[in-house]
Amino acid sequence: MNLTLKIWRQAGPRHQGELVTYKVEDISEDMSFLEMLDVLNEQLNARGEEPIAFDSDCREGICGMCGLMISGEAHGPERTTTCQLHMRSFHDGEVITIEPWRANAFPVIKDLVVDRGAFDRIIQAGGYVSVNTGAAPDAHATPVPKPHADRAFVAAECIGCGACVAACPNASAMLFTGAKVTHLSELPQGQPERMARVVSMVEQHDAEGFGGCTNVGACSAACPKGIPQDVISTLNKDLRAALRA
Amino acid sequence: MARRTTVGLKLLMAVTGLLFVGYLLLHMYGNLRALAGEEAFNGYAEHLRTFGEPMLPYGGLLWVVRIVLVLSLVGHAYSAFALWSRAGSARRTKYAAVKTAMRTAWMRWGGVFLLLFLVWHLLQFTVVKFSVNPDEQGAAVTQNPYELVVASFQVPWNTLIYVLAMVALAFHLSHGAFSAQQTLGWTMTASAYRRAKIIGHSLAAVIVGGFLIPPLAILFGLIP
Amino acid sequence: MTDTTVNAGIAHGLYAEGEPVADTKAPAGPISQKWTQRQFDAALVNPANRRKLDVIIVGTGLAGGSAAATLGEAGYNVKVFCFQDSPRRAHSIAAQGGINAAKNYKEDGDSVYRLFYDTVKGGDYRSRETNVYRLAEVSANIIDQCVAQGVPFAREYGGLLDNRSFGGVQVSRTFYARGQTGQQLLIGAYQALERQVAAGTVTQYTRHEMLELVVADGRARGIVVRDLVTGEIETHLADAVVLGSGGYGNVFFLSTNAMGSNVTATWRAHRKGAYMANPCYTQIHPTCIPVSGEHQSKLTLMSESLRNDGRIWVPKSREDCDKDPRQIPEEDRDYYLERIYPSFGNLVPRDIASRQAKNVCDEGRGVGPMVGDFRRGVYLDFADAIGRLGKAAVEAKYGNLFDMYQRITGENPYEVPMRIYPAVHYVMGGLWVDYDLQSTIPGLFVIGEANFSDHGANRLGASALMQGLADGYFVLPNTIRDYLAKGPFEPLAPDSPAVAEAQRSVEERTARLLEINGERSVDSFHKELGAVMWEYCGMERTEEGLLKAIDLIRGLREEFWRNVRVLGAADTLNQSLEKAGRVADFLELGELMCIDALHRRESCGGHFRAESQTEDGEAMRHDDQFLYVAAWEFGGGEGLGDTGQPVLHKEDLAYEAIELKQRSYK
């Protein structure tokens, strides 16, 4: 298939960017979206133009490194990561707009690459259980009821790609933050720090400049792992409990 | 401070929103009394003022309600505008191609419209009490709640404003009532989440339906 | 039988042989007491002195991440580096299956000794007993630690942890978190690491790539990195350097490794004097999704559990290869594994399943699209299983894998047989380390997949995660203190010769890559190298093929430094430049892998050497000649791309706790 691509090019963090139009031809529908960009980059390199910078690493949908806004949809039209999106989801002659995640908390580094360091800092604010190596009791010392273990797992599936922020009309990172809060709140190991954790993580979330949540659910709809909205509810409940405490 | 966070703001919005929902249900009940005739409607209005006597002075409860509502309105609007402005600065560079949910826009612009309507509505029926009906003027109309309501909604453009406001209210409530439950953390399972959505839609349908019946009945001459 | 004294490698002047090398750190005594003894013998560092000791850790996967967190907790001053944008993205995250631990929660006869035994046997008797025993010993602590961190392992209804049997072992000792065990373990280590970042004991440098090791007075004292965002070349100094930079499977271009996985950190250390051990030992996984065309950038693994119910076949005749498989009648199908190995059938070990798949494809009986000259794929057919168990049961067992397959290939595996093909998945080779995980350069420690020590010639399933976390949480923090207790070392001046030299070499290499401005892209070299490695240094190797490969790689390397085109600038994010530096190192490593494979004239583990087989074509090991670790010293080349003549140092392997056996699957 032949495609027209409008791709955001931006030389550096402080440069002005713009959409540049490229044509690609003979794209196989078995290619992944990023392989299509690889093909374009090889052509650009051959023409002496600098290739387009974009992030990707595992290319099997688990590391969370890739992430593009594809014609207005985070990770494109399917519920998956950009690296697992294949060209059979597009049709011959289509015009595709490719932009980086847009959020002030995710500044553009170059072209389609953004800085998601804010997510690390939210985790640093409390997204952990304080247990030093070697200080752990036997793994069977505390049984965890299966429903709690399962819900913790669903929340823990977050890959930190940032699609939730990209898709949110408020550029809020509540789904990301809520997923970590829920993961740890569901487990007995997460209880001692439960209240302090949620307050600290939400404060960091706000300090990074993310917007507030308005519960519209665009985040969950874009999430490649299908993290549900109810993790935000858990965060809200924990924060409310922390306010009372 | 946790209270100042975006989640704190949302909690404020949720609680004040729920107070409004309670008030709307009460208000809707009063409006529907109009279907039972002048005596029932005016009697209800009078009863609101004598409620709690002699523990409360005449109109005392009403003032309590008014104060709570005004404070709620201030809190609700404050958190809304704070979150709105935050969202604006959280994404200064907009997408060239957008396919995002419109509900947030509905809430915000719909909320602004509702605020304007509220001013108009209070001026018309509570603060100034004036009739927009050229055929029904004078103190006999403006000082009689039932007469003022009937006279006002016989005027098609006035009813149209009301209907538009109710459409905005429907959107606002269906998302808002759900959203408040989510913000309060009552939706921690998939089924609770679905239930909250249904409650949101149902409340919107009941309240807006209830509010629309009297004016439309007046416009179409079902209430003389 | 061949004689090592006339080994082809030596005969062709490809390498020289040096003095033997041996581990001196494992204490004497019974194997079960060695680790306890070593922890006691290793010097302690006074808690008050720890913050004066700087440790650099490169890589934030299971090994690097857990080591950084643990050393931070202990109070050392840690700097941790990764090339990704967050420590959470290291490639450990992609491991699906599970993690072994000798917990014996199932009371099915498991023990530390059995896990040790299975690991050594799985490694085809080419790993070091002492290290493997310790690995099995600390395995149980890993599970305790991870559960305490909140890693959501699968649980039973009673609330206790679930286990399964994995990779053909007969006990259920594998802990798992659906198909995302690596992700969950890594997030656990990442969270522990971020906790230390918040506490100020660890400083994290993301989007930083190590490009050189600083060695001063014979000690590893720091690294030179490139800030991938600004392009700045920075030098970081410390009292010890730890490499947890993962494996080099991407030398094959197509592998299941992440796009950025590379050898640069370990290769640069190798060039500075660290021995590289058993570089030719790679693990090839039989159940990957086949290549769909020339554009393919990486391969995706599917859990091997698919072979429990799927039947593997190809058409008997080439003419049927492009037909719809459902139209090929039963009598025209060749269920080759069931035919050749009637007792194990489709469940033969990874290396045999992989090699036979390549054989039938090389015969021209592969299926799927033509890639290059032939079709690279065999059928993995679930029609029988669906008929026997019902579609619902198959879906319950393999639903997520079938979905993944369908998303990538666009084919529905419930209707059409899956196509699979082997792919490089893991490397057992890596920098040589002693019992303390210290390389031949004092102060340079190597952990996880980056070292060579625990898996011998083939890795047991669900053991990679175990080794990464064992090294990072429990082994390294206890052994490195013996070294750090001698510190803090004399501060190095920024303009000292060792620092200046390391920095200059990085700057020169970067500048050179940008100024060549030739005709070919970095990827085109990488693909060509990968094809050579896969063909001649993959599952089956011959002397002739390896000699040819060495020639081809040398030619390619020479062309690379003359004809590569890297656009853009050095002082900005430049992904072509990053790739170019990595491929340049792969071009050197590839040759050493071929030399190592050439010199090891035996079939062992996953490596079939055509000249070393039994009468019925099965792998034949030569314990009499090759019961050793091949540790390679850099040949001392000076210029860019010059590798000199590597020197082989042998570490003899002694099996005292386990009896040597030849394996058989017929």
The shortest C-alpha distance from A131 to chain B (Å) reads 25
Helix pair B6-32, B156-183: axis angle to 10 deg: 140
Instruction: Give the pair of three-digit tokens for residue A76.
Output: 């494109």
> Which of A30, A47, A57 should be substituted to probe chain C, the one whose Cβ sees the most C Cβ atoms within 10 Å?
A57
Neighbours of C94 (CB within 10 A): 24
Give CA angle at A138 (A151, C305), nearest 5°. Answer: 55
**Which whole-number Å values give the CA distances from C238 to A89, C54, C594, in the listed order?**
50, 5, 35
Give CA angle at B98 (C403, B76), nearest 5°. Answer: 105
Mean pLDDT, each 10-residue run in order, chain C (666 residues): 61 92 96 97 96 97 98 98 98 92 94 96 94 97 97 94 84 91 97 98 98 97 98 97 98 96 98 97 93 91 87 94 93 95 86 90 92 89 94 86 90 95 95 98 98 92 94 98 96 94 96 96 97 94 97 97 96 97 98 97 92 90 95 87 92 94 72
Q: Are residues C110 and C212 in the same domain?
A: yes
> Taking CB atoms and an 8 Å limit, are A237 and B103 in contact across chains?
no
Q: Is A25 left (phi over 0), alpha (psi -120 to 50) or beta?
A: beta
Backbone angles phi, psi at C631, to 5 degrees: -105, 120
Q: Give burial (CB, 10 Å; 0-12/13-18/19+) of B74.
A: exposed
Provide the H-helix boundaries in C42-165: 47-50, 62-74, 112-122, 129-149
DSSP strand pairing (C444-446 vs C540-541): unpaired
DSSP symbol at A93: T
Q: Which residues of A are less than 8 Å from B194 in CB distance?
A: none
> Do A162 and A98 contact (CB within 8 A), yes or no?
no
DSSP symbol at C161: B
Most confident of the following: B65-69, B95-99, C458-462: B65-69
Q: Are residues C84 and C211 in the same domain?
A: yes
Task: Identify the pLDDT of residue C2.
Answer: 44
Q: Which residues of B are less than 8 Å from A104 in CB distance?
A: 89-92
Number of domains in chain B: 1
**Which whole-number Å values give the CA distances from C559 to A43, C95, C508, C526, C587, in the listed order?**
20, 36, 18, 12, 11
Q: Are residues A141 and A240 in the same domain?
A: yes
Residue C663 lies in a domain: no
Residue C299 DSSP SS3:
coil
The CATH number that applies at residue C79 is 3.50.50.60
> Taking CB atoms and an 8 Å limit, are A239 and B189 in contact across chains?
no
Q: Which one of C94, C157, C194 has the shortest CB-CB distance to A120?
A: C194
Residue B13 lies in a domain: yes
What average pLDDT does range B16-42 have in this prediction? Answer: 93
Neighbours of C375 (CB within 10 A): 23
N-terminal to C-terminal alpha carbon distance within chain C: 23
| Residue B4 in this model has a pLDDT that exceeds 90 | no
Q: Report the distance separating Cα C258 and Cα C252, nearest Å.
A: 12
Residue at a domain's end among A46, A74, A109? A109
N-terminal to C-terminal alpha carbon distance within chain B: 57
Q: In what order do the strands lie in the sheet with C628-633?
A: C16-17, C647-652, C628-633, C276-277, C430-431
Q: DSSP per residue over A105-162, as a string?
A: TS-EEETTEE--HHHHHHHHTT-S----TT-PPPTTSS---HHHHHHHHHHHT-----
> Do C301 and A61 contact (CB within 8 A), yes or no?
no
Q: Give burial (CB, 10 Å; 0-12/13-18/19+) of A115.
A: middle
Q: Are residues A71 and A94 in the same domain?
A: yes
Torsion of CA B152, B153, B158, B159, to 10 degrees: 160
Q: DSSP per residue over C411-440, as a string?
A: --TTTS-EEEEEEEEEE--EE---TTSB-S
State the residue range of the domain holding A56: 3-109
Residue B17 lies in a domain: yes
Nearest CA in chain B to A71: B97
Which are the contacts of A223, defined by CB distance < 8 A and separation ≥ 6? Answer: A79, A158, A163, A164, A175
Q: Which residues of B are less than 8 Å from A232 in CB distance?
A: 182
The shortest C-alpha distance from C570 to chain A (Å) reads 13
> Taking CB atoms and an 8 Å limit, are A214 and B98 in contact across chains?
no
Number of domains in chain A: 2
Partner C contacted by A147 (CB < 8 A): no
Q: Report the distance separating Cα B31 and Cα B42, nearest Å.
A: 10
Q: Are residues C224 and C175 in the same domain?
A: yes
Q: Are residues C259 and C130 in the same domain?
A: yes
> Taking CB atoms and an 8 Å limit, are A145 and C195 in contact across chains?
no
Q: Report the distance separating Cα A210 and Cα A106, nearest Å.
A: 9
Q: Which residues of B have a CB under 8 Å from any CB of A?
A: 2-3, 5-11, 83, 86-87, 89-101, 103-105, 107, 175, 178-179, 182-190, 192-193
Residue C246 half-sphere exposure, CB side, CA atoms within 13 Å? 31
What ipTM goes with this model?
0.97
Instruction: Give the pair of three-digit tokens for residue C370.
Output: 């033509």
Residue C370 lies in a domain: yes
Residue B84 lies in a domain: yes
Torsion of CA C503, C507, C512, C513, to 10 degrees: 100
Which are the contacts of B15, defined by CB distance < 8 A and separation ≥ 6? Answer: B75, B180, B184
Residue C250 half-sphere exposure, CB side, CA atoms within 13 Å? 24
Q: Are residues C262 and C353 in the same domain?
A: no
Q: Are residues C102 and C230 in the same domain?
A: yes
As a residue count, chain B comes to: 224
Task: Identify the pLDDT of residue C4.
Answer: 46
Residue C224 lies in a domain: yes
> Taking CB atoms and an 8 Å limit, are A211 and B91 in contact across chains?
yes
pLDDT digits (tens, 9 = 90+) for B148-184: 999 999 999 999 999 999 999 999 999 999 999 999 9
> Do C583 and C525 contact (CB within 8 A), yes or no?
yes
pLDDT digits (tens, 9 = 90+) for A173-219: 999 999 999 999 999 999 999 999 999 999 999 999 999 999 999 99
Residue at a domain's end among A79, A109, A139? A109
State the residue range of the domain holding C78: 17-280+426-484
Which are the contacts of C534, defined by CB distance < 8 A and separation ≥ 6? Answer: C252, C254, C424
What average pLDDT does range A82-107 have in this prediction? Answer: 97
Residue entry with tokens 């190597």: C446
Residue B224 lies in a domain: no
Active site residues of C: 350
Nearest CA in chain A to C83: A57
The CATH number that applies at residue A87 is 3.10.20.30
> Do A99 and B96 contact (CB within 8 A), yes or no?
yes
Choose among C643, C640, C560: nearest CA to C595.
Answer: C643
Q: Report the distance separating Cα C276 and Cα C282, nearest Å.
A: 14
Instruction: Give the pair of three-digit tokens for residue A166.
Output: 């990209």
pLDDT digits (tens, 9 = 90+) for A25-52: 999 999 999 999 999 999 999 999 999 9
Number of domains in chain C: 2
Beta bridge partners, C55, equal C78, C240
Q: Are residues A32 and A79 in the same domain?
A: yes
Residue at a domain's end among A109, A126, A157? A109
Of A16-20, B58-62, C146-150, the one with minimum mean pLDDT is B58-62
Q: Give burial (CB, 10 Å; 0-12/13-18/19+) of C508.
A: exposed
DSSP strand pairing (A69-70 vs A95-99): antiparallel
C505's enclosing H/E stretch is helix C497-516
Chains within contact range of chain A (3+ C-beta pairs < 8 Å) = B, C
Task: Identify the pLDDT of residue C661.
Answer: 85
C38's enclosing H/E stretch is helix C31-41
Q: Which residues of B are less than 8 Å from A218 in CB distance?
A: 100-101
Give CA angle at A124 (C236, B7), nearest 5°. Answer: 150
Q: Are residues A138 and A195 in the same domain?
A: yes
Partner C contacted by A49 (CB < 8 A): yes
Q: Which residues of B are less than 8 Å from A205 in CB distance?
A: 5-6
Q: Are residues A190 and A227 in the same domain?
A: yes
Mean pLDDT, all residues of chain A = 96
Give CA angle at C582 (C472, A118), nearest 5°. Answer: 60
Q: Are residues C267 and C290 in the same domain?
A: no
Q: Are residues A237 and A152 in the same domain?
A: yes
Q: Which residues of A are less than 8 Å from B5 in CB distance?
A: 199, 202-203, 205-206, 239
Residue B138 lies in a domain: yes
Q: In what order do the strands lie in the sheet with A3-10?
A: A17-24, A3-10, A95-99, A69-70, A73-74
Q: Are residues C28 and C172 in the same domain?
A: yes
Q: Are residues C83 and C120 in the same domain?
A: yes
Residue C565 lies in a domain: no
Choose among B147, B161, B122: nearest CA to B223.
Answer: B147
The CATH number that applies at residue B140 is 1.20.1300
Residue at a domain's end among C468, C484, C500? C484
Q: DSSP per residue over chain B, as a string?
A: -GGGSHHHHHHHHHHHHHHHHHHHHHHHHHHHGGGG-HHHHHHHHHHHHHTTTTTS-TTHHHHHHHHHHHHHHHHHHHHHHHHHHHHHHH--SPPSS----SHHHHHHHHHHHHHHHHHHHHIIIIIS-----TTS-SHHHHTSHHHHHHHHHTSHHHHHHHHHHHHHHHHHHHHHHHHHHHHTT---SHHHHHHHHHHHHHHHHHHHHHHHHHHHHHHTTS--
State the residue range of the domain holding B152: 2-219
Task: Identify the pLDDT of residue C434.
Answer: 98
> Taking CB atoms and an 8 Å limit, are C89 and A64 in contact across chains?
yes
Beta bridge partners, A24, equal A3
> Taking CB atoms and an 8 Å limit, are A45 and C178 in contact across chains?
no
Chains C and B touch (3+ CB pairs under 8 A): no
> Do C337 and C345 contact (CB within 8 A), yes or no?
yes
Residue B200 lies in a domain: yes
Provide the H-helix boundaries in A159-229: 163-167, 174-185, 194-207, 218-222
The CATH number that applies at residue C316 is 3.90.700.10
pLDDT digits (tens, 9 = 90+) for C251-295: 999 999 999 999 999 999 999 999 999 999 999 999 999 998 889
